[in-house]
Amino acid sequence: MSDIKKVVLAYSGGLDTSVIAKWITETYNCEVVTFTADLGQGEEVEPARAKAKALGIQEIYIEDLREEFVRDFVFPMFRANTVYEGEYLLGTSIARPLIAKRLIEIANETGADAIAHGATGKGNDQVRFELGAYALKPGVKVIAPWREWDLTSREKLMAYCEEHNIPVDFNKKGTKSPYSMDANLLHISYEGGILEDPWAEAEEEMWRWSVSPESAPDTPTYIELTYDKGDIVAIDGKPTSPADVLAYLNKVGGDNGIGRLDLVENRYVGMKSRGCYETPGGTIMLKAHRAIESITLDREVAHLKDELMPKYAEVIYNGYWWSPERLMMQKMIDASQERVNGKVRLKLYKGNVIVAGRQSDDSLFDESIATFEDDAGAYDQKDAEGFIKLNALRMRIAASKGRSPLK
């Protein structure tokens, strides 16, 4: 007899999680609560309610979390210019801590003993969900069916559906994508299918959010982003909410062939994985944020941020959003953004994000000093001689002691 009486399941309404809902009910002889989050995945989430009801679910949570997702997770991450392994903008990674947070909150609200998810035992998401859950509710039990059951193929899942009268109407168009996909307002990811061969080029018809750079308009698109403390608050002078900022940038970026990525990444569980991503809005945000920081951040602060960023990215990728180290780094990052205010003008053209201008009342750029024209004594070039000699002193001493770098 299981000691688990109620489970909160992260429920998409798709085949896997519908099977999981039924499987948990039978295996653990317990009640299941479903939670479906709208993170801007571009598909209706309300049909999940009817599917959950058809499975006999009594408590159903469907929530629009788009604003919270961008405001409290995506924006803080982009203040750090976060990129994992030089390329990946962490679109999947950054969504998981929010889902984990709501799973735990709903468990507390409903008196559930456990949470459950549909992540497989090979991926990163199981780690991210569970690390987040344990950080927020140390004693919570976690059910991960892919690590327990023997339904290890789509055929077995379909047979289970037939045996238990689970309706399979999840693909009304009659065609199923050969890829495993995950989408939210920040990105859409593709894995599996031909992508399991790292030599195979992604098919053009796979991409959903962007045109190819070759097919993008021949005329560039200009946009202006306004920043307040490191976050975008207006587009072309119009105040815009965080979720609407990202939605707009996704559209204008995708229309201009921006944001496609094909990479092989190192998963936390140890294996390498090839995936393709579309992150048009995030690609624009990264370029623009670095542009506004270039005139508002002190040099050493900017360099320290760049040194910190790979660790910060790794922490998020590996699922430690709610860890003390991420919270500590976030305070440092946020402190650096106090004067990251102003405007950035961008030119979007055939897959490229080109900075066309930046301005700020908090700018540290001083034209009177940087000018190549007469600076009227603002900078004494003779000072550079002593600066250079002092910085060369240790190398001059070493060379005079026979430690030439050419030997």
**Which of 163, 191, 213 marks a domain boundary?**
163
Is the distance from CB of 253 to CB of 259 less than 8 angstroms?
yes
What's residue 43's pLDDT? 83
Is the distance from CB of 110 to CB of 8 less than 8 angstroms?
yes
CA distances from 258 to 24, 192, 352 (A): 42, 23, 6
Is residue 269 situated within a structural domain? yes
pTM of the entire structure?
Answer: 0.94
Are residues 146 and 212 located together in one domain of the fold? no
Are residues 220 and 270 located together in one domain of the fold? yes
Is the distance from CB of 281 to CB of 246 less than 8 angstroms?
yes
| CA 79, 85, 91, 95 torsion-angle sign | negative
Are residues 20 and 121 located together in one domain of the fold? yes
**Which of 163, 192, 218 marks a domain boundary?**
163
**Which of 163, 194, 209 marks a domain boundary?**
163
Is residue 115 situated within a structural domain? yes
What's residue 284's pLDDT? 98
Is residue 230 situated within a structural domain? yes
Are residues 197 and 243 located together in one domain of the fold? yes
Q: Looking up tokens 């946020």, which residue turns up?
A: 334
What's residue 168's pLDDT? 73
Are residues 156 and 202 located together in one domain of the fold? no
Quote the number of domains for the chain.
3
Is residue 354 situated within a structural domain? yes
Are residues 234 and 277 located together in one domain of the fold? yes
CA 366 to chain centre: 35
Are residues 129 and 19 located together in one domain of the fold? yes
Domain of residue 220, CATH code: 3.90.1260.10
Are residues 148 and 197 located together in one domain of the fold? no
Note the pLDDT tens digit of each residue in 29-85. 999 999 999 999 988 888 899 999 999 999 999 999 999 999 999 999 999 999 999
Q: What is the 3-state secondary structure (H, E, C) of the chain?
A: CCCCCEEEEECCCCHHHHHHHHHHHHHHCCEEEEEEEECCCCCCCCHHHHHHHHCCCCEEEEEECHHHHHHHHHHHHHCCCCCECCCECCCCHHHHHHHHHHHHHHHHHHCCCEEECCCCCCCCHHHHHHHHHHHHCCCCEEECHHHCCCCCCHHHHHHHHHHCCCCCCCCCCCCCCCCEEEECCCCEEEECHHHHCCCCCCCHHHCCCCCCHHHCCCCCEEEEEEEECCEEEEECCEECCHHHHHHHHHHHHHHCCCCEEEEEEECCCCCEEEEEEECHHHHHHHHHHHHHHHHHCCHHHHHHHHHHHHHHHHHHHCCCCCCHHHHHHHHHHHHHCCCCCEEEEEEEECCEEEEEEEECCCCCCCHHHHCCCCCCCCCCCCHHHHHHHHHHHHHHHHHHCCCCCCC
Is residue 314 situated within a structural domain? no
Are residues 156 and 208 located together in one domain of the fold? no
What's residue 176's pLDDT? 61
Is residue 185 situated within a structural domain? yes
Pull the structure tokens for residue 55: 């499975």
Is the distance from CB of 137 to CB of 108 less than 8 angstroms?
yes
What's residue 206's pLDDT? 96
Are residues 60 and 195 located together in one domain of the fold? no
Residues lower than pLDDT 70 in the chain = 1, 169-176
Pull the structure tokens for residue 51: 């599917």
What's residue 174's pLDDT? 43
Range(s) of the domain holding residue 385: 376-400
**Residue 98: phi, psi to the nearest 5?**
-70, -45
Other CB atoms within a 10 A radius of the CB of residue 263 amount to 15
Are residues 234 and 348 located together in one domain of the fold? yes
Is residue 312 situated within a structural domain? no
Are residues 200 and 348 located together in one domain of the fold? yes
Task: Kindly list the catalytic residues.
Answer: 16, 96, 125, 180
What's residue 329's pLDDT? 98
Is residue 13 situated within a structural domain? yes
Domain of residue 16, CATH code: 3.40.50.620
